[in-house]
Amino acid sequence: MPHTTNKKLIVGNWKMNPSTSVEAKKLARKFKHAAVSLNHTEVVICPPLTFIPLCTGRTKTAHFHMGAQVASTQEESGPHTGEVGANMLRDLGVEYVIVGHSEQRKRGDTDAIVAARLKAVLGQGMTPILCIGEHSRDESGAYLDVLKEQIKASCGDLLKKVAKSIIVAYEPIWAIGAAEAMKSEDVYETSLFIKKVFADLYGADMGLKVTVLYGGSVTYRNAPDIISIGKVDGLLVGRESINAPGFIELLKAVDLLG
């Protein structure tokens, strides 16, 4: 299900938090409550797998969607100990899945593994949030090649009609878990570059349509500038997404941008 609206998309990556199901349920309840009054923003929360059914609830909440932090590379159920398939996530009501997060790439996900996860998620009709990002930047602009290669290696083989469901989350690794986010002006420049890579791969219309998020030390304070100056379609939020007052403030601030 591609993200086709003009609304901003705010994705909360809870990582391996919180510690208990009671806390997880409380957080989800607060975010659902906040989501109902949004007009220009859609919210996705990505709790740890075990909390997903508890956070989903029985009824659908307006502007609130369930995401997962990972899906198996395996497309079919079978003898894959420890794996959770995209088919199982879809069955739980998951609509979005984070793929290729730098913390998973660090634990061994290669571009080929990222491509396989992406394919499995797309195969179940869910929306993959493909994370890309450079370790560092220098004057020579080598980081742009890193981003281009990550995109090509994960989606270069996909047909356009399939690839158009992909959301890209640009997360410079040096800005994740850091004291400050990337400058909004630099977010703008890089998101233009990402759109150009998609245009080169799939045609000008894809360059215009691809949804690009920014992630890396986003807070309720810097979120409005990153969106309005950085001109991204939304945000992938780590730490601030488990801080209930901060995340709710962030949702409201982004929504006010219209």
Point out which residues bind ligand PEP (CB under 6 A).
Answer: 13, 171, 176-177, 215-218, 236-239
In angstroms, the CA 212 to CA 217 distance is 16
Name 43's bridge partners: 10, 64
- DSSP class per residue in 152-174: HHHHTTS-HHHHTT-EEEE--GG
In angstroms, the CA 132 to CA 115 distance is 12
CB of 63 to ligand PEP, least distance (A): 21
CB of 47 to ligand PEP, least distance (A): 14
Structure tokens at 40: 């220009």
CB of 50 to ligand PEP, least distance (A): 19
Q: Which is the catalytic residue, given 42, 103, 171, 240?
A: 171
CA angle, residues 242, 246, 249, in degrees to nearest 5: 130
Contacts 24+ apart (CB under 8 A), 183-191: 184/222, 184/225, 184/226, 184/228, 184/229, 184/230, 185/229, 185/230, 187/214, 187/226, 187/229, 187/230, 187/231, 187/232, 188/229, 188/230, 188/231, 188/232, 190/147, 191/230, 191/231, 191/232
First to last CA, the chain: 23
Nearer to ligand PEP, 174 or 188 (CB): 174
CB of 66 to ligand PEP, least distance (A): 17
Nearer to ligand PEP, 132 or 218 (CB): 218
Nearer to ligand PEP, 147 or 236 (CB): 236
The DSSP call for residue 178 is: S
Nearer to ligand PEP, 70 or 236 (CB): 236
* Sign of the four-CA dihedral 195, 121, 111, 103: positive
Nearer to ligand PEP, 121 or 242 (CB): 242
CB of 109 to ligand PEP, least distance (A): 14
Q: Which is the catalytic residue, given 101, 103, 134, 240?
A: 101
Q: Is 33 a catalytic residue?
A: no
Nearer to ligand PEP, 66 or 242 (CB): 242
Structure tokens at 92: 């739980």
Q: Is 171 a catalytic residue?
A: yes
CB of 172 to ligand PEP, least distance (A): 10
Residue whose beta carbon is closest to ligand PEP: 238
3 state SS of 97: strand
Catalytic residue ranges: 101, 171
